[in-house]
Amino acid sequence: MGAVTADEMRALEEAAFQKGATAASLMTKAGRRLGLAIARMFPRPGTAVAYLGKGHNAGDALVALGVLRAAGWQVVARASRPLEECADLTRAMFEALGGVTVLEASPDVVEMPRPLVLLDGLLGIGANGGPRGTLAALSREMNGLRRTAGARVVAVDLPSGVDADTGVVHPDAVIADVTLTIGVPKRGLLQAAAVHAVGALGLVPVEELRVPEVGDLALISPWTLAAGREPRPFDFHKGRAGRVALLAGSVPYSGAAVLAATGALRGGAGLVTLHVPVEAHALIAAKCPPEVMVRPVSDPRDLLGSRFDSLVVGPGLGEADGDTLRELLEGCSVPAVIDADALNALAKCGGVAGLPSHHVLTPHPGEFARLAPDLTGQPREAAARLFADRSSPVLLLKGARTLVTAKGKPLWCNSTGTPGMATGGQGDVLSGVIGALLAGGMESLDAAALGAWLCGRASERAIAAGASEESLSAGDAAAHLGGAFRDWREGTR
């Protein structure tokens, strides 16, 4: 499912109306699913405050309030104008909800049950520019409660003040922790310029608004990517799950190898073999999970004589010989994930030219700059597309909105994640997870996209389970990969 402009979204709605849908039926479905999504994100009932403009985003928020109230939440509203001045359908949804207090002033949050969730229903895709007047004051109020009172902001469809087409963040825009976009992703939400205001992205499915074509820009979510949804058959065995080989680790960076191997284990691999330098073998073997086989290797090219279904190269290798790694990777007939120190080594000896298309590159911005210094200064989206056009492997460009693409393919933008992932080792776990998906037979681009989603979702789950953005570790995320897999299959994120 591709991302759309505001005009394209309005055309989709009009097409749905022509097929018999009504604005009320679409709002009821979207609002109910919005409420259910919020309840899943915050399993313990707390307080929900809906900030209402006059349009249909406010109606969606009101329907969601009803769902949350039925689930045990305390719900109130904060309106930008008298309800009689709102759109007819929004006013009808307020009346149908019944019994909801409309606050005349900023909520007194001290005694409110937590979590405190603020629903941004101020502006929708039809807005021209940012919030003004009372809307701007309410936006500032929400942002203030987020900064000082531990509130979490959920934007309905898009954060008020973020342009649906360009991603421009206007003054006084709402800063959301998560944006639950309705029906189809809006192009502006996927732009790097909007990441800090959009936060994590969720898609609220509305069947009547489905888009058949992916287009050039797409969101990675269970509703837009089919890979990995089918459960394993009951007679599945470890041979079918695949064999992952890793070339990783060194004496100074033993933890990276352990985390990558753990990612492969948690990512579903049947057998995981970690190949490490001879001098680091005892150190790393002592730290590894017992399910991982750890073998010393003196020359990376020796792996070409081994049997495996995917290869992960780079985490924690330290200084490595790029020419030797190139021989290994060019001679490798199975998909390889190339990360970290392997990318740096290749950058010093000609880059990634000549590597097969089934390989996956997973640079962070610094490693990407070393691979493609001529693209420094380009917008992330443009740089990723230009790099993919001149290279064969799949590119996964890490960041707050991880991008995945390949030559001739759409630019896929990840929807999951948290600022808590800004800590060492997250990329190592990701490499292992992608390696496991590849070993199980998944196509390279799908494996990269799903791996990014799973690791982001696992980190979200770890925080929901008690970690904080400050305390989250890569090991915490790896421990929650099982729940992330369930969420993907069930479409519950």
Predicted confidence (pLDDT) per residue in 5-58, tens digit: 999 999 999 999 999 999 999 999 999 999 999 999 999 999 999 999 999 999
Cα Rg, the chain, nearest whole Å = 24
| 0.85 exceeded by pTM | yes
428 is in an annotated binding site: yes
Using DSSP, state whether 167 is helix, strand or coil: coil
pLDDT in tens, 261-294: 999 999 999 999 999 999 999 999 999 999 999 9
Distance CA 469, CA 459 (A): 9
Q: Annotated binding residue at 267?
A: no
**Is residue 478 predicted with pLDDT exceeding 80?**
yes
Give dist(CA 201, CA 493) in Å, integer. Answer: 9
Q: Which amino acid, residue 229?
A: R
Query: 422: Cβ–Cβ under 8 A, 6 or more apart, which residues?
Result: none
pLDDT at 197 over 80: yes
pLDDT of residue 212: 62
Cα–chain center distance at 352:
26
Q: Which run of H or of E encompasses 201?
A: strand 200-204
Lowest mean pLDDT among 1-5, 164-168, 299-303, 454-458: 1-5
Structural domains of the chain, ranges and CATH numbers in brackets:
6-213 (3.40.50.10260), 238-490 (3.40.1190.20)
- Tell me whether residue 316 is annotated as binding: yes
Mean pLDDT of 349-367: 96
What's the rounded Cα separation, in Å, for the pair 256 and 259?
Answer: 5
Question: Is 459 part of any known ligand binding site?
Answer: no
Give 409-424 pLDDT, tens digit per residue: 999 999 999 999 999 9
Report whether 423 belongs to an annotated binding site. no
Four-point Cα dihedral 47, 53, 56, 60, nearest 10: 0
Task: For residue 215, say whether it is annotated as part of any ligand binding site.
Answer: no
* Distant-in-sequence, close-in-space partners of 282: CB < 8 Å, separation ≥ 6: none
Q: What order do you get walking across the sheet with 217-220 strand by strand?
A: 217-220, 411-414, 403-405, 394-397, 360-361, 336-338, 310-313, 243-247, 271-277, 293-297
Residue reference for tokens 């911005």: 365
Does 262 belong to an annotated binding site? Answer: no
Is the separation of the CB atoms in 414 and 203 below 8 Å? no
Per-residue pLDDT, averaged over 296-303, amounts to 96
* DSSP character string of 18-43: HTT--HHHHHHHHHHHHHHHHHHHS-
**Whether 201 contacts 179, CB under 8 Å:** yes
**Which residues lie below 8 Å from residue 485, measured CB to CB, with a gap of 6+?**
228, 268, 454
Question: Which token pair is 325?
Answer: 């790694």
Residue 451 marked as a ligand binder: no
Q: How far apart are CA 183 and CA 204, in angstroms?
A: 6
Angle at 493 between CA 235 and CA 259, to 5 degrees: 65
Asked if residue 197 belongs to a known ligand binding site, the reply is no
pLDDT band at 2 (very low <50, low <70, confident <90, very high): confident
Closest CA to 231 of 493, 490, 492: 490
Consult the annotation and say whether 143 binds a ligand.
no
Q: Is 344 annotated for ligand binding? A: no
Burial (CB count within 10 angstroms: exposed 0-12, middle 13-18, buried 19+), residue 121: buried
Is residue 130 a known part of a binding site?
yes
Residue 366 marked ligand-binding: no
> Does 134 belong to an annotated binding site?
no
What average pLDDT score do residues 444-455 get?
Answer: 98
Residue 222, phi then psi, degrees to nearest 5? -60, -20
Distance spanning both ends of the chain, measured CA to CA? 16
Q: Name the one residue in this structure whose structure tokens are 């494996």.
A: 447
194: which residues sit within 8 A by CB, 6+ positions away?
162, 167, 168, 169, 188
CA 1 to chain centroid, in Å, comes to 16
Contacts of 162 (CB under 8 A, 6+ apart): 168, 169, 170, 173, 174, 188, 189, 194, 197, 198
Q: Is position 408 annotated in a ligand binding site? A: no
- SS3 string, 283-322, reads HHHHHCCCCCEEEEECCHHHHHHCCCCEEEECCCCCCCCH
Q: 252 — phi, psi (to 5°)?
A: -70, -25
- Known binding residue 431? Answer is no
Compute CA distances 379 → 191, 224, 375, 460, whole Å: 9, 24, 9, 27
DSSP character at residue 212: S
Confidence at residue 211, expressed as pLDDT on a 0 to 100 scale: 74
pLDDT in tens, 76-117: 999 999 989 999 999 999 999 999 999 999 999 999 999 999
